[in-house]
Amino acid sequence: TELFGIYPAAKLAIYIQRNAQVQSSQGGGVMIGTDSEVGRFQVLRTHAASPLGAQQRILRRMFRLRSWSGYSVGVFTVGTRYNPADPLSRVHEVGGKKAAKEKARGRIQEWQNLTDPYRYLSFLPPAHWRRH
């Protein structure tokens, strides 16, 4: 599930910002792109409809990460047409590694040419309480 990719991406981005001392007195924020609407809504609602314990644990970890760091987490949709990871995950379907890399570079270029690439950005605010 995409949820398992969103959490480590948010965690890594927050650690990098904290170690680079980018955080302001009001906290900070990170933006994570995903091609999964389901994963995006699970993070934004901090609720998974699935009874799978693993998904619930990931959402609890996301909440704790936000509580500990004071950061907000923005999750936005990357359409399949612009997602550079898609051809790389389908190497055999696109004609090999070289073709997949070329296609991924093309998608990155298309994304950079968009006038409003973050139009589906939704922020999950920092958690209401923090450990001191």
Q: What is the pLDDT of residues 26-46, one digit of tens each?
A: 557 888 888 888 888 888 877
- Note the pLDDT tens digit of each residue in 80-111: 888 888 888 888 888 899 999 999 999 888 88
* Percent of the chain at pLDDT exceeding 70: 83
**Tens digit of pLDDT for each residue in 49-58?**
777 788 888 8
Per-residue burial over 11-46, b = 16 or more CB atoms within 10 Å of its CB, e = otherwise: bebbeebeeeeeeeeeebbbebbbbbeebbebbeee
pTM: 0.69
- 28-34 and 122-124 strand pairing: unpaired
% of the chain at pLDDT higher than 90 = 9
Calpha distance 1→39 (Å, rounded): 7
List the end-to-end C-alpha distance of the chain, in Å, as a whole number: 33
